Structures are given as structure tokens and as C-alpha cells.
Structure 1
Amino acid sequence: MASTLLYIRHMVCVKCILVVREQLVELGLVPLRVELGEVELRDDAATIDWPRLRQCLEAEGFEILDQLSPQQRLVAQIKEIIAHLLATEPAALRSGHFSRQLSERLQRRFAYLSDVFSATEGLSLEHYVIRQRVEAARCLLRESTLPVGRVARELGYSNLGHLSRQFQRETGTSPSEYRREQLTGVQDAATPAK
């Protein structure tokens, strides 16, 4: 039996990987590999209910790409590198370090990579990195008890103020307020109704 390779747009974080995997399993499909922008299924393409698969993924904000252009493949590689750096070496996502690392890994000028990313995704590479770091901060604030300053250090921010400014711009709230809101929501949900 031949496996099926899918390219999926709008997979930008680890949570996206989990959501896509969950949707595939719910449809009775067997994912062999789920990565940012790319899925390999054990299932043969002829046995897949394509309209249903598209509908399920689109309901979650994803889109199956029938054919991936070279630019889209490059963007998928960039996103993979960003996700890897965020998980293993977040300090490498600082401006100067990141541009150098990305250029070296993909053997292309950073200006070219940035232009392709912006044209394909509709937002700058720098803004995408900021969004990913802020999303990682949200996860840490929600799921850990680390002090906010430690969260900033864990994600490679030079100081708490830098994280706070980016977090405020992206979410409309400060990291401390976000954590408080999350804790209040959890406590409210745990309190039985009278």
C-alpha cells in the first residue's frame, strides 16, 4: 500500500500539529508523520474521503495544498526551523542570530528568505517569529508556574520588558494579566455552580 503525502497551509505551531493529528485519527486515517505544513498518511490516496478531510481541516483553519510550489516548500522549511529553534535554542531567535542561522541552514540570503516568506504568508518573517514566541509564552504562562521573568529567559528574550511589549502588542494584555485571567478562568470552571 502506498502512503499519501499532504501539504497543509496554516500549520504554525506544535498545537497545530496536535489538532491536525487528532482530526486525521477521528476520520479513521493513520498518520505516519505530522510536521508543520506536511503530513504523511499510511492510507492510499484512493481510499481517502477528500471532501470530508478538507472540510474537517478547514473547520480548524487549515487548508490542504494540492501542489506545493517551491516558495511554499521553502516557507514550510523556514517554519520548521523556527519551531525547532523555539523548542531547543530560543535565544537563537534574536534578530542577528536568527537571520544568520536561517541563511546558513537554507543556503540562501536572508533578504531573499524574508521576501519569499512575506509574499507567501502575508506577514513579515520577523512578525511571524514574534507571534511564535508570544504563543510559546502564552503556553508557558498557562501551563506552568514559572515566574514571568523566567518565562522571558526561557524563550530567549533579553529582558522581561521586551517580552511584555511584544506580548501586549500581540494579545492586548500583559503576561501577568494573561496568567491571572487564565488562573481565574480555571478556578471559575472548577467551582461548582450553586
Structure 2
Amino acid sequence: MSSDTFAKSIFGPVLPILRVQSADEAIQFINEREKPLTLYVFSKSQKVIDRFMQETSSGSMCANDTLVHLSVDTLPFGGVGPSGMGRYHGKYSFDTFSNKKAVLVRNFNPIGEAFGRKRYPPLNDSKLAYFRQLLAKRSSPFGGLCSHMPYLIVFMLGIASAFALRYVLNAFGKEI
């Protein structure tokens, strides 16, 4: 297929339709071209839809419908590569057009300088080991706690409920 119609993004009243014999042929056709802004897939088979999700790349994908995905403002919309950059709609628009600037201002506190002396020459094996440890990817010291936080909260609410019930019953003269 050498037609320019299938090579460029179309924002107009023309809808080109290409008949293919299989999902494999359609996926190959898509992957041989630049990434589309949106990929529309029509199929009653969830396996076919899943294949298009996994084996192609596009800004977004809409299965068994057209344009409805644009009306859902919680879905990010935008392209990949030549079809666009960034995501738009709701919070995604704010994030796309915001500049999250990281700023670090180092002061010359004597305590900080005492810990930071290893940064300065002359370098040796001990200082290199310090740098490796400093730059190594590490998990949060609260990682385990965070994953169990919902259970801890429910447990604490249970304890608080028991104390509240005991207080109410004692206030009305009921013995536990």
C-alpha cells in the first residue's frame, strides 16, 4: 500500500478503509508505519482486541467505538512520536503543560560538610565505595510499612471502636 492517505494523519471528512484478511496482517500494516494518534479496533473477540493493545503502539486505542474516548475526560488523550507529544484532558493537560522543576540548594552547614568530605579529592577505594552506596538504587525505609498500612488502619479503627463502645456502655451504666 503506497497511498499517501495511509501514511499521514487525517483530520478531515475522509475515512480510508483497508480490508485485511487477518489480525496479523492488520498489525503488520500498522507497525510498518508511523504510530497513529488513535487506533480504532472493531472486533467481538477480546483476544483480538488484546493483541492490538499489546502488539501495536499508538497514542490511544478505542475498541468497538469511535470518538467516545474523547468524551471521557479522565482518559488521557495524545500521540506518540510523530503523531504528537504529551497527554491532554483533565489533570493530564495540567501535567503536560506544567514544568515540574527540581531545585536543590546546598548550604555550607558544618555538619553537612563533615558528612560530605568524602566527595572531594583525593579519591580512594573507600570514597568510591561511599559513592556507590550513595548512588545505589534503594527502596524506601517505610516500604514494608506502606504496603501494610490499610491493614494497620483497619486494626487501629477496630481498637478505637472497642474503646468507644466500652466508653458508651460505661456512660449508660452497663457493665462489660
Q: Which has the larger radius of gyration?
A: 2
- Which TM bucket (shorter chain)? under 0.3
TM norm structure 1: 0.23
Instruction: Return the structure number with greater strand share.
Output: 1
